Chain A
Amino acid sequence: MIDMKRFMSGGMGIQPIWIFVIVITIFFSVMSDYFLSVGNLTNILVQTSTIGLIALGMTYVMINGNIDLSVGATLGLAASLSVGLQDYGLTVAVLVAIATGVALGALNGLLVWKTGVNAFIVTLGAMIGVRGLIFVYTEEQSFYASNFAFSDFGASSIGPIPVLAIIFLLCTLAMHLVLRRTGHGRNTFAVGGNPEAALDAGIRIGRNMMINFMIVGFFAALAGVLLATQMGAATPNLGRDYELWTITAVVLGGTKLTGGYGSITGTLGGVLAIGVLRNGMNMMQVPAFYVLVILGVILVTVLIIDQQISVKSSKGVQV
């Protein structure tokens, strides 16, 4: 949190992931002539917005000390619903899709709260079950958008900037402010930092966790709808592995799996790091399989460096 404050006030302690983002951006700018252009940079924002939106919610859940593995499946279900229900009108389709995401999040939160079963297990079950629901609903069919307004939206832009990128950036700003400036944000840190002390301070920790699961459910569904607008379609396997990419981005951004610590600015850095790496290596025509190998190595390396730094800084004043 202290690092955050310094970062916000333009001080010395920039989050490590941002240094990494700057370094790789410079690297790819030198290596590829096409990388550093407005078109490509906004393209990166659009490409990362899907993982990015989910990562915003995931940051809250992980600061809470929980995790949500069902976001990829929720994304897939919301995408299918938003396309499949278009006969009832676009608004209805989108609203139902998003409400489904929120409801699934509420269900996850409720189970974690009331049963005390670890969020990893609860959402692992949800991940499998919700993927099953997609197949039940779609009967293994891909859906194609009948309403052209839907697919046009995904390709639209305001000035030079794509609408999807704008939505992602606005959501990031809002989530940052809520985490840093509101009581809900403060309680989210408190619950993850020490649930017992949070409870003793009169914080409704179950409610706090449930709201955060609903938030991540909302963002997973929103990401699903927006992804469907980009493709003009939804497939039953949409969103597979997305939970892993999301968690990767959040962890790269410095949020601790144990809870109590993390930031939206860090998560944005983590999301961009993945986006820039993928895009840049693509530009340099690195074969896709090698891209995965490199991403895996980089994830572990960055976390090792981060660990070293935080071990050093935790040896603070102890009188």
Chain B
Amino acid sequence: MSTATVTHTAGASAHGEAPILSLVEITKKFPGVIALNKVSLDVRAGEVHALLGENGAGKSTLMKVLAGKHIPNGGQILLEGEEKVFENPKQAKQSGIVLIHQEQSLVPEMSVAENIYLGSLPKKWGNRVDWKTLHRDSTAILDRLKCSFSSKDLVSDLSIAKKQMVEIARALVFTPKIVVFDEPTASLTDHEKPVLYEIINTLRDQGVGIVYISHRMDEIFHLSQRISVLRDGEYNGTVNTADTNEDEVTKLMIGRSLELDHASKPKDFGENMLELRGLTVDGVFEDVSFSVRKGEIVGMYGLVGAGRSEVAETIFGLRKISSGEMLLDGKAEHIHSTHDAVAEGIALVPEDRKDQGLILGMNCRDNMTLAGLETVSSNGFMKPAAEKLVYDKYQQAMKIKTPSWRQKVGNLSGGNQQKIVIGKWLHTHPKLLILDEPTRGIDVGSKAEIHALIKDLAKTGYAVLVISSEMPEVLGVSNRIVAMYDGKVTAEFDGDEVSEDALVQAITGQYVTSGDASADRPVT
């Protein structure tokens, strides 16, 4: 099953202890799919065990089996050497297995303390809530996590990162033995992450076994002691983090190595497809000017909140322009609605696939044709055969993995969902393709595929604007980079000649014009 040369328990002596948790040959079948095929995994007390795999490799399914959400078709779960059968999440929780979700499950209109102890509020006589104990205990947990907010704060007032802290605090009520983190940093900013790392390390030092799922290699190498890899529902080996490197792990994950190729960027571009002249939306961003040419990929780089997504939304007709103008294909355009934008050939792959990009309850085909119904209908009536052709075309071109076009999009993995969104827009044959964080939460394999796809699109003449917070992504795909800080464009760079330092300075507002950097052309 595994072609890797990695031994399964290479590091048994490193910590020298029996595993606190063993998953033995877990098998889980869904109609038509074997999601897990005899997958085994050991987790020791006091280690951070990273679980890696492409989207669809079975990580989430495995963790759902562990947490009692799925009942496996075969295999054993051994917790501290004892066989456990979890028929529901409650049993798993009571045994000390806690899952920190990607999606948050807090009650927004309640206080932090009430959320932490939800379902097990301390009581006084007469079944009244013992507020004093509640806040004392909650504060103790929050202190342990070094949280800066009070147990009396309303959850709805907290940032996403702080909400996640509450979610973790909730797990600590039960003195967990195993804590599973599923993509915990997906919604955190760079300076919020160290806090999370510290919490994870604290838990680890207290002897908790930690399973850490993430697509980000830097995090995994920073945090974990061992790495296990799943591929296509099968166990593909475990390595000691100290004895390996990113290339090796990537190879284990996808069976080949990846390289971002910076070389193959074309140099000749066509006319300006999009030109912004002093575009301003009051209170959001001001005086934004840049252009995107046919066949060119322009990267828009900046921190969260710098105004990048807002610029994209404005181009797409979701925000009202206060001043400045926008030229599309050389003509001044007044776009008042998304309908206008689509009609003018603008496409936006939004930041949040699930909330903005897809109708999760609809099937794959219907989502794919949604933005271009005119082309697959006549006189208002749909032509199912034409729709199927469109779907097949993009499904094959982008290698979208799904059992059938009838599959609901909500059941697909993140990478495949993103491909459906991109396919939806390619079908409208846009002049300008805007991608907002196109690979957020997507595994390295699909990520590389999407990067290659973006480059191919540019080669065929699309003007592409890519918004990203990831520097390697911006550097890897862009011909030109527009840096934003605090609602303003601070600099524009040639994608091949820019230095990482200059980019970081530009997006943190410290950019200083320097005469020697001829390629770097400050705008303001």
Q: A193-B360, A194-B360 are in contact. Are A186 and B342 (CB under 8 A)?
A: no
Q: Mark A247-287, 1 if CB is under 8 A from B, else 0.
A: 00000000000001100000000000000000000000000
Q: Considering the complex, give the chain B residue whose CB is closest to the CB of A177.
A: B381
In the complex, whether B380 has a CB less than 8 A from a CB of chain A is yes
Q: Considering the complex, give the chain B residue whose CB is closest to the CB of A202.
A: B342
Q: A317-B32, A317-B33, A317-B407 are in contact. Are A201 and B361 (CB under 8 A)?
A: no
In the complex, chain B residues whose CB is within 8 Å of the CB of A318: 30, 35, 60-61, 411
Looking at chain B's contact residues, is the secondary structure mostly helix, strand, loop, or mixed?
A: mixed
Q: Considering the complex, give the chain A residue whose CB is closest to the CB of B233.
A: A319
B370 engages A190 (CB within 8 Å): yes
Give the CA-CA distance A2 to B366 in the complex, in Å.
12
Looking at chain A's contact residues, is the secondary structure mostly helix, strand, loop, or mixed?
A: helix
A186 engages B382 (CB within 8 Å): yes
In the complex, chain B residues whose CB is within 8 Å of the CB of A193: 359-362
Q: Closest approach, in angstroms, between the C-beta of A38 and any C-beta of chain B?
A: 35
In the complex, chain A residues whose CB is within 8 Å of the CB of B119: none
A183 engages B373 (CB within 8 Å): yes
Q: A182-B380, A319-B30, A319-B58 are in contact. Are A201 and B362 (CB under 8 A)?
A: no
Give the CA-CA distance A196 to B360 in the complex, in Å.
12
A260 engages B359 (CB within 8 Å): yes
A204 engages B337 (CB within 8 Å): yes
A194 engages B338 (CB within 8 Å): no
In the complex, chain A residues whose CB is within 8 Å of the CB of B343: 202
Q: Which of A182, A185, A194 has a CB less than 8 Å from the CB of B359? A: A194
Interface residues of A in 220-261 (CB under 8 A from B): 260-261
In the complex, whether B155 has a CB less than 8 A from a CB of chain A is no
In the complex, whether B161 has a CB less than 8 A from a CB of chain A is no
Q: Considering the complex, give the chain B residue whose CB is closest to the CB of A259.
A: B361
In the complex, whether B491 has a CB less than 8 A from a CB of chain A is no
B362 engages A1 (CB within 8 Å): yes
Interface residues of B in 386-439 (CB under 8 A from A): 403, 406-408, 411, 413, 424
A2 engages B382 (CB within 8 Å): no
Interface residues of A in 274-319 (CB under 8 A from B): 316-319
In the complex, whether A203 has a CB less than 8 A from a CB of chain B is yes
Give the CA-CA distance A182 to B383 in the complex, in Å.
9
In the complex, chain A residues whose CB is within 8 Å of the CB of B356: 196-197, 200
In the complex, whether A187 has a CB less than 8 A from a CB of chain B is yes
A1 engages B363 (CB within 8 Å): yes
Give the CA-CA distance A13 to B316 in the complex, in Å.
41
Q: A200-B338, A204-B337, A319-B30 are in contact. Are A186 and B358 (CB under 8 A)?
A: no
Residue from B35, B363, B382, B403 whose CB has the most chain A CB atoms within 10 Å? B382
In the complex, whether B371 has a CB less than 8 A from a CB of chain A is yes
In the complex, whether B374 has a CB less than 8 A from a CB of chain A is yes
In the complex, whether A114 has a CB less than 8 A from a CB of chain B is no
Q: Closest approach, in angstroms, between the C-beta of A8 and any C-beta of chain B?
A: 12
In the complex, whether B152 has a CB less than 8 A from a CB of chain A is no
In the complex, whether B348 has a CB less than 8 A from a CB of chain A is yes
Interface residues of A in 186-216 (CB under 8 A from B): 186-187, 189-190, 193-194, 196-204
A2 engages B363 (CB within 8 Å): yes
In the complex, chain A residues whose CB is within 8 Å of the CB of B424: 201
Q: Closest approach, in angstroms, between the C-beta of A6 and any C-beta of chain B?
A: 10
B338 engages A199 (CB within 8 Å): yes
Q: Which of under 10, 10 to 19, 20 to 34, or 35 or more describes the interface residues of B?
A: 35 or more
In the complex, whether B84 has a CB less than 8 A from a CB of chain A is no
In the complex, whether A184 has a CB less than 8 A from a CB of chain B is yes
A200 engages B411 (CB within 8 Å): no
In the complex, chain A residues whose CB is within 8 Å of the CB of B381: 181-183
B31 engages A194 (CB within 8 Å): no
Q: Considering the complex, give the chain A residue whose CB is closest to the CB of B373.
A: A183
Q: A2-B363, A204-B339 are in contact. Are A319 and B373 (CB under 8 A)?
A: no
- Compute the total of residue contacts between A and B using a CB distance below 8 Å: 104
Q: A317-B33, A317-B403 are in contact. Are A197 and B357 (CB under 8 A)?
A: yes
In the complex, chain B residues whose CB is within 8 Å of the CB of A185: 382
Q: Which of under 10, 10 to 19, 20 to 34, or 35 or more describes the interface residues of A?
A: 20 to 34
Q: A200-B348, A200-B350, A202-B371 are in contact. Are A316 and B359 (CB under 8 A)?
A: no
A196 engages B406 (CB within 8 Å): no
Q: Closest approach, in angstroms, between the C-beta of A225 and any C-beta of chain B?
A: 27
Q: A2-B406, A193-B361, A197-B358 are in contact. Are A203 and B339 (CB under 8 A)?
A: yes
Q: Closest approach, in angstroms, between the C-beta of A32 and any C-beta of chain B?
A: 41
B408 engages A316 (CB within 8 Å): yes
A203 engages B370 (CB within 8 Å): yes
Interface residues of B in 27-79 (CB under 8 A from A): 30-33, 35, 56, 58, 60-61
Q: Mark A162-191, 1 if CB is under 8 A from B, else 0.
A: 000000000000000000011111110110
Give the CA-CA distance A319 to B31 in the complex, in Å.
11
Q: Closest approach, in angstroms, between the C-beta of B410 and any C-beta of chain A?
A: 9
Give the CA-CA distance A38 to B85 in the complex, in Å.
58
Q: Considering the complex, give the chain A residue whose CB is closest to the CB of B384.
A: A181
In the complex, chain B residues whose CB is within 8 Å of the CB of A260: 359, 361-362
Q: Closest approach, in angstroms, between the C-beta of B231 and any C-beta of chain A?
A: 13
In the complex, whether B341 has a CB less than 8 A from a CB of chain A is yes
Q: Closest approach, in angstroms, between the C-beta of A179 and any C-beta of chain B?
A: 11
Give the CA-CA distance A186 to B56 in the complex, in Å.
29
A184 engages B406 (CB within 8 Å): no
Residue from A1, A183, A203, A204 whose CB has the most chain B CB atoms within 10 Å? A183
In the complex, chain B residues whose CB is within 8 Å of the CB of A203: 338-339, 370
In the complex, chain A residues whose CB is within 8 Å of the CB of B516: none
In the complex, whether B355 has a CB less than 8 A from a CB of chain A is yes
Q: Considering the complex, give the chain A residue whose CB is closest to the CB of B348.
A: A200
In the complex, whether B377 has a CB less than 8 A from a CB of chain A is yes
Give the CA-CA distance A190 to B337 in the complex, in Å.
17
A316 engages B30 (CB within 8 Å): yes
Q: Considering the complex, give the chain B residue whose CB is closest to the CB of A207.
A: B339
Give the CA-CA distance A196 to B61 in the complex, in Å.
29
In the complex, chain A residues whose CB is within 8 Å of the CB of B56: 319
B370 engages A182 (CB within 8 Å): no
In the complex, chain B residues whose CB is within 8 Å of the CB of A200: 316, 338, 348, 350, 356-357
Q: Considering the complex, give the chain B residue whose CB is closest to the CB of A206.
A: B337
B339 engages A183 (CB within 8 Å): no
Give the CA-CA distance A249 to B377 in the complex, in Å.
31
In the complex, chain B residues whose CB is within 8 Å of the CB of A316: 30-31, 408, 411
Q: Closest approach, in angstroms, between the C-beta of B221 and any C-beta of chain A?
A: 27
In the complex, chain A residues whose CB is within 8 Å of the CB of B362: 1, 189-190, 193, 260
Give the CA-CA distance A260 to B33 in the complex, in Å.
27
In the complex, chain A residues whose CB is within 8 Å of the CB of B360: 193-194
Q: A193-B361, A197-B358 are in contact. Are A319 and B338 (CB under 8 A)?
A: no
B413 engages A319 (CB within 8 Å): yes
In the complex, chain A residues whose CB is within 8 Å of the CB of B406: 2, 5
A-B contacts, 6 listed (Cβ < 8 Å): A181-B382, A182-B380, A183-B382, A193-B360, A204-B339, A319-B411
What are the 7 closest A-B residue pairs judged by CB atoms, nearest first?
A202-B342, A193-B359, A183-B373, A201-B371, A317-B30, A201-B370, A194-B359
Can you add 8 more A-B contacts, CB < 8 Å, to A197-B359, A199-B338? A5-B406, A186-B366, A198-B370, A200-B357, A201-B370, A202-B339, A202-B341, A203-B370
| Chain A interfacial positions (CB closer than 8 Å to B) | 1-2, 5, 181-187, 189-190, 193-194, 196-204, 260-261, 316-319
| Chain B interfacial positions (CB closer than 8 Å to A) | 30-33, 35, 56, 58, 60-61, 233, 316, 318, 337-339, 341-343, 348, 350, 355-363, 366, 370-371, 373-374, 377, 380-382, 403, 406-408, 411, 413, 424
